[in-house]
Structures are given as C-alpha cells and as structure tokens.
Amino acid sequence: MPESHAISFAILAYGSAYLKVHRAPEFYASLLNNQPMGFYTPATIVKDAQRHGLKIKPVCISQSERRCIVLDDNTVRLGFCVVNGLRQEHAEELVRQRQERPFASLDDFKRRVPLSKDELRRLAELGALNCFAKHRRAAMWDVEETIHDDLLTSSRGVAVFGTSASTTEPLARMTLPERVKADYETMNLTTGPHPMKLLRETFPNICRAIDLVHARHGSIIQIAGNVICRQRPGTAKGFVFISLEDETGVSNAIVEPDLFERFRLVITEEAFLLVEGEVQNSDNVVLIKAQEIRALAHEQLIGSESHDFH
C-alpha cells in the first residue's frame, strides 16, 4: 500500500530531522560510522556538519578511536575508519596498544603497531602523525627515515645509522591547498575548507549554492562544484539530475536528454563541473535548467567521489 510506504518514510524523516537538530554530534558520527550507506558520501556529510556549526576534529594517532566519536555537544573526532587502506585489525591494535600506554615517539609507535609502509605513509600524509612532528611533511620525512633504517638494519637488529628521529626540518610545511588535496587522496574527505572555497576568487561570477534562492526566475546564471550525485531515473524520460557541492551547500541542475548526449563524457567523467543555465524557481525550490556544461579544471581541485544512478 502506498500509504504504508509513506508512513515508514515519514517516521524515518522525522527521526532523522529530530536527531540532526537535538543530537547533531551523535547523528553525524553515526552516519560516518556506517558507511557506505545512503545518498551522500562521508565528504558531503562532514561538510554539512561543519555548515551546521559542528567542529570536526581530524584523525590523530593519540586521540582517535577506530570509529568516529562524540567529544562534546559540538564536536566529533574522526576515527581511523575514514582512512583509505588502513586495515581494521591494524586500527584496533593501534587503539589497544595506546590504551596500555601512550606512544612515546614514532619509533615506539612503529614497533608496537604492525602497520605496512603504505599505511604509515598515509597516516603521515593526512596529518595523523603530527603529534610526533611539527607538521605533515616533517612526519612524512620521519616515516621515510624509519623505513630506510629498517632496510639497512643488520642481521642482529641494530640500525646502521642509529635512530630515525630527524634533527632538521628539510621540507617546507604543506600549503592549505596541498593539505586539502592530501586529505582527499588519503580519506576522500577533508576537515579543512571545501575545494571550491579555495578557488572562489578565481571564479567570482559563479553563483554560490546559498545564493540561488535569491536568483531571479528565468535568469541565466552559472553554478559550479564537486559532483556529488548524478541521477537518470527510468521514469524521467532521459532527463539527468546533477547535484553540485560548493562551500555553502548543494545546487541542482537538470539536463535534457539531447544535452546529456552532447556533454555525456564531461558529465559522467569530470569531478568538478561548471553549469550555465536558466533558473527555475518554484516555491523557493531552485533548479538550473542546463544550457552549457564544462569541466571546472584547476590544479588545486580534487574532490570526493560521487554517488551515481544512471
């Protein structure tokens, strides 16, 4: 019965809305801890949480648990579950070892937790080892030194060149865009600024998602962002719906079948799109009827994967 489906969805919608308003940290932590699921990626969930005033703390060897945890009424700490390529059993062993006693140094951490070289490198790149170093590149340098020392260790287990602790700082700190890029490469999300915010001054004429409600019906504007969803419902007669995320929220574009065929490769392959089209504003629900679509290309742009239904 249609009514039974409507009631079920209404209960879910009400429960989700209530939790989001009254127990926001628990709501967002639960979503992040139960991936993959639903319509939105962890990257979009993190950004939505931040836009609603929550603080999202990054992954940290000395503070994170395997799963995301609630720190207080306004703060969530990301867990090791969001790190690409970090095995669950290794994350669990890391937490167990830390509970026995804190890690004194990178060498101590490496001896007690059996991580692979790639796992160590990834943790350093995303900033999780900053408790042992001044910044990410310093941690990455120290990790490479420990790996190098392991290769040169004698058969009796004595390191040829002594400890791996670096006494110099040979590498410059990552810039903010470099940190955001590293976050997406290692976690597919960032606790830093949205990539579009870093480029807003480069594209001043593009309308932000938050400003669409003020756009005049029938006017021609440009929107842009990270593609978080592509939909081509079987009942939509070939129309495609695209959701683009920027630093302020999500905007939606509708693409007619012939336009989709014209721009198929760009629409289906590019992570960031710029869409020019006509504003369709009905009861403050705003869509952009696309007329032109092109890739938004910039060396600093790297975003999350999209959820596609086409």
Chain mean pLDDT for the chain: 89
Q: Three-class SS of residue 119?
A: helix
Alpha-carbon torsion, ordered 282, 288, 291, 292, to 10 deg? 170
pLDDT of 2 over the 70 cut: no
Q: What is the mean pLDDT of residues 39-53?
A: 95
Give 242's strand partners.
230, 253
Q: How far apart are the first and last CA of the chain?
A: 27
pLDDT of 13 over the 80 cut: yes
pLDDT per position as a tens digit, 110-142: 999 999 999 999 999 999 999 999 999 999 999
pLDDT per position as a tens digit, 147-162: 876 554 544 455 444 4
Which among 54, 48, 45, 49 has a CA at the least distance from the CA of 75? Answer: 54
Q: Domain limits of the chain?
A: 2-187, 195-309
- List, in order, residues 6 or more apart from 213 with CB less than 8 Å away: 281, 284, 286
Residue 163's pLDDT is what? Answer: 46
pLDDT per position as a tens digit, 27-39: 999 999 999 887 8
pLDDT of 303 over the 80 cut: no
Q: Are the CB atoms for 61 and 131 separated by under 8 Å?
A: yes
Residue 170's pLDDT is what? Answer: 65
In the block, residue with structure tokens 């990552």: 174
pLDDT band at 20 (very low <50, low <70, confident <90, very high): very high
Residue 166's pLDDT is what? Answer: 47
Residue 148's pLDDT is what? Answer: 76
Q: Looking at residue 9, what DSSP letter applies?
A: H
Q: What is the pTM of this model?
A: 0.86
Alpha-carbon distance 147 to 162, whole Å? Answer: 13
Q: What is the mean pLDDT of residues 290-298?
A: 90
Question: Homologous superfamily of 195-309 in CATH?
Answer: Nucleic acid-binding proteins (2.40.50.140)
